[in-house]
A and B are shown apart, each in its own frame.
Chain A
């Protein structure tokens, strides 16, 4: 691996640019290198690993049992990358990807992409024949009253603090929500010495019944043993409260307590931290900005990019691997990363179709095996409408622009708003710095509710480049192509 710390040392051209150094990106980079592609792996974090293997090369938590063996499996992926000659650039944001034009403004043949990078306040445009988006997942944002108070974080954030810095929340901590990570994190934090005063499980009763038909498949899967152990352990060692609803976090400057409905009884618990978790959904921002086709995946209740058997999106030359193309966990992400790299090598003519097929056959089998049990987990933790459509009118939905549930409901009704892109013009939802990452999935719920249609009919936010904030100064100081000058000069 060739670690690049200065943006000027990144080459002008690559066969392949991979966005994101989690399991999918790491595996794709090492494989692409083996197949002879010049490859750039660009990642916005300080060190490789993505979120699941966050800080795996630098974590101060050296005792392996604390973060668990599933975490340390990631080391093999980083070692493969280190052995390669891939250009790896950390702290680098990919803020735009567009088809490249020649000086007369025509598309270059064969297709190239112009990739906008920014590192420590300096921007560059480089070119790539193909891209693999390995941008992973985000935690599903589920607005509850008080979720913007300092002291409220996602469960994933607390896990990141533990992995990368060996930190645990100090004071009375409550973990609330629904999803496989809930118990895992509660157990991990408790073993790390945190004071967990309650775990508030919001998975509704009906979900288990609905998931039952998938139970047999789950029990044969790689998750089963681990999941059941955790469940058994939680009964004895964690302060669990199950099937709670109506979470509401209260405090003036920071968290003071959480109110909730405990099977019909209103309760409240005083606390210093609330860690929320409602499962994870694909991070679709870059795919959406590139115009890749998305489909509504009801099993996880989220928009997901459409990819073909070779993990190519609807935009030729753009592959999507890992959880960003459908949630299936880290081992599956690595397998899919490899497959995407093999497909890229074939598309660029470095290997023939027969070798592509032979190389990917075992990987496809692995991907199928790793997907086992997923349907049960997805169904069990599928969020229900009352969770996603906050009834408290003052709940903040758009954190950046501080737009509340009632405002959205009113505007949708009064102005007959059909979708999130129209609402943006009225309420600025999706126009703050997070560019709709935090509100996009809730806004479509509220619009669907008011219009009385299913969520997928409402559509999704269309993102525009730049997909990460970049200063005008950075853009202005970039060398401009003749085509770009021609576009604005008369």
Chain B
């Protein structure tokens, strides 16, 4: 889990409030989350206390982001119905519906998305 550093440490004294600080809402696994507009989905999930983003396709164990720079592919999630999205390269958006990626895709799962 990650948390924001104190305002005192982040703020420059002469800085007007930053439009990037606007708070937006999205869901992960059906739970409502709040995020800083402009953040990556991975950072937003970490800030909301989510450490595990997916289950592996081989053994089904939980994984979370490892590199945060697009290299490891352990941050894969389903964004608005599209799988295999790298959360660390995806900007979070108002109203985004995010699901953890659960293992490999199966024929059943494919049929369900088609319906």
Please list the residues of chain A having a beta carbon within 8 angstroms of any beta carbon in chain B.
Answer: 44-46, 51, 58, 60-64, 66, 91, 121, 138-139, 147-148, 150-154, 156-157, 160-162, 164-171, 191-193, 253-254, 272, 283, 399-402, 432-434, 437-438, 469
Min distance, Cβ B22 to any Cβ of chain A, angstroms: 12
Shortest Cβ gap from A288 to chain B (Å): 14
In the complex, per-residue mask of B32-75: 1 if CB is within 8 Å of any chain A CB, else 0? 00001011100110110001110010110111111111111110
A166 touches B51 (CB 8 A): no
Residue of B nearest to A276 (CB): B66
Kindly state the separation between the CA atoms of A62 and B14 in the bound complex, as whole angstroms. Answer: 10
Min CB gap A310→B, angstroms: 29
Residue of A whose beta carbon sits closest to that of B15: A62
A184 CB to closest chain B CB, in angstroms?
17
B112 CB-CB contact with A under 8 Å: no
Q: A66-B9, A164-B43 are in contact. Are A170 and B3 (CB under 8 A)?
A: yes
Our pick among A160, A169, A171 for the contact of B69 (Cβ within 8 Å) is A160
The residues of B that contact A150 with a CB separation of less than 8 Å are: 51-53, 62-64
Q: Which residue of B2, B44, B74, B84 is within 8 Å of A170 (Cβ)?
A: B2
Binding site for A on B (CB under 8 A): 1-6, 9-12, 15, 18, 20-21, 36, 38-40, 43-44, 46-47, 51-53, 56, 58-59, 61-74, 76, 82, 84, 89, 91
Q: Can you report 7 residue pairs joining A to B where beta carbons are below 8 Å apart?
A: A62-B10, A154-B66, A167-B2, A167-B4, A167-B46, A254-B51, A437-B71
Docked complex Cα distance between A139 and B66 (Å): 11
Q: Are B12 and A64 in contact (CB under 8 A)?
A: yes
Given contacts A148-B63, A254-B51, whether A192 and B9 have CB atoms under 8 Å apart is yes
A192 touches B68 (CB 8 A): no
How would you classify the secondary structure of chain A's contact residues: helix, strand, loop or mixed? loop
CB atoms of B43 and A167 under 8 A apart: yes
Nearest opposing residue in chain B for A194, CB measure: B5
Q: Are A164 and B63 in contact (CB under 8 A)?
A: no
A156 to B72: give the CA distance in the assembly, Å.
Answer: 13
Find out whether the CB atom of B71 lies under 8 angstroms from the CB atom of A438. yes
In the assembled complex, the CB of B27 is this many whole angstroms from the nearest CB of chain A, namely 19
Which chain B residues lie closer than 8 Å to A432 at the CB level? 73
Known: A60-B4, A433-B73. 15 other contacts (CB 8 A): A45-B89, A46-B40, A60-B36, A63-B11, A64-B12, A156-B68, A157-B68, A165-B44, A167-B2, A168-B2, A170-B1, A399-B63, A399-B74, A401-B58, A438-B72
Separation in Å of the A150 CB from the closest CB of chain B?
A: 4
A156-B67, A170-B2 given; A402·B21 CB < 8 A: no
* Contact flag A60-B21 (CB < 8 Å), given A162-B5, A400-B73, A402-B59: yes
Contact, CB under 8 Å: B10 / A165: no
Q: Decide: B66 and A91 in contact? CB cutoff 8 A.
A: no
Write out the residue numbers on chain A whose beta carbons fall within 8 Å of the beta carbon of B38.
46, 58
Min CB distance B103 to A, Å, is: 12
Residue of A nearest to B50 (CB): A150
Q: A168-B5, A399-B74 are in contact. Are A157 and B10 (CB under 8 A)?
A: no
Could you tell me the distance in whole angstroms from the C-beta of A120 to the nearest C-beta in chain B?
A: 9
Q: Is the CB of A60 within 8 A of B10?
A: yes
**Given known A64-B12, A254-B52, contact A193–B71 (CB-CB < 8 A):** no
B63 close to A166 (CB less than 8 A):
no
A66 CB to nearest B CB, Å:
6
Q: What residues on A are CB-neighbors of B56 within 8 Å?
A: 402
Given contacts A46-B91, A60-B10, A165-B40, contact A51 B69 (CB under 8 A): yes
Q: A64-B12, A167-B47 are in contact. Are A58 and B20 (CB under 8 A)?
A: yes
CB <8 Å contact, B52 and A253: yes
Q: Would you call A433 and B43 a contact (CB within 8 A)?
A: no
- Contact residue among A151, A191, A433 (Cβ-Cβ distance under 8 Å from B84): A433
Contact (Cβ within 8 A) A164 B10: no
- Distance between A116 CB and nearest chain B CB, rounded to angstroms: 17
Whole-angstrom distance between the alpha carbons of A307 and B60 in the complex? 43
CA distance A66 to B12 in the complex (A): 11
